[in-house]
Chains A and B, each alone.
Chain A
Amino acid sequence: DQQVKQNSPSLSVQEGRISILNCDYTNSMFDYFLWYKKYPAEGPTFLISISSIKDKNEDGRFTVFLNKSAKHLSLHIVPSQPGDSAVYFCAYRLGGADGLTFGKGTHLIIQP
């Protein structure tokens, strides 16, 4: 039973355009969401996070939006760059000692 779903296994976007990665969750008790990026042969790298008390968090080219009524999380990357090509995971965390729960990931491909 997937509690965090990333329904698009892959996404292709032209360089310079906006990339939008989506994530749906089931439990309204989740209170902290994160996005990680993973290159081949490397561990996941933290990108950006958002608390459930907010609906938007921005860091440079990356913005995360949280729609609690729809139980939907999205990551916007503007403008997309070739180095953004990677697998992106959304994740949540319930409590302090709890580990992260990840979605299956979306493979973002930035086309030149």
Chain B
Amino acid sequence: DAGVTQSPTHLIKTRGQQVTLRCSPKSGHDTVSWYQQALGQGPQFIFQYYEEEERQRGNFPDRFSGHQFPNYSSELNVNALLLGDSALYLCASSTGPRTTDTQYFGPGTRLTVL
């Protein structure tokens, strides 16, 4: 049973460019959350998708957007990249958006913005 998978593993972009990161949830999961982990920090919540809709959003600008597909997979898009967007981007999936639903994390995508 595959866990949460993310692609690509690593990515290098330049300032001003746009990037798309992809996530496939664990089998049986229908809820996907995205997090940004800067160096030396804990993961920070970006947003959560459930039933193909953004349900909740953390303190991130509109440059960060997402999408969830009918098969529950998800994309994170970041426009107009800044140097400060360099981080590990983590996707987490769960069986629902309830408080007690355990979130399972993928290995992340390492984004470097030059």
Binding site for B on A (CB under 8 A): 4, 31-32, 36, 41-46, 49, 51, 89, 91, 93-105
Contact = CB atoms under 8 A, between A and B. Distances in A.
Interface in B27-81: 33, 35, 40-48, 50, 55-56, 58
A46 B56 contact: no
A94 B98 CA distance: 10
Nearest to B88: A43
Contacts of A41: 107
A96 B99 CA distance: 4
A54 to B, nearest CB: 13
A96 B100 CA distance: 8
A97 B42 contact: no
Interface residues of B, number: 30
Given A102-B43, A104-B40, A31 B105 contact: no
B42 A89 contact: yes
A102 B99 contact: no
Interface string B97-114: 111101111111000000
A89 to B, nearest CB: 5
Contacts of B99: 31-32, 93-96, 98
A77 B33 CA distance: 28
Contacts of B47: 99
B98 A100 contact: no
Contact of A42 (B35, B50, B96, B107): B107
B90 interface: yes
A100 B90 CA distance: 12
Contact of B56 (A98, A103, A104): A98
Given A43-B105, A89-B42, 5 more contacts: A41-B107, A46-B102, A97-B55, A98-B45, A98-B48
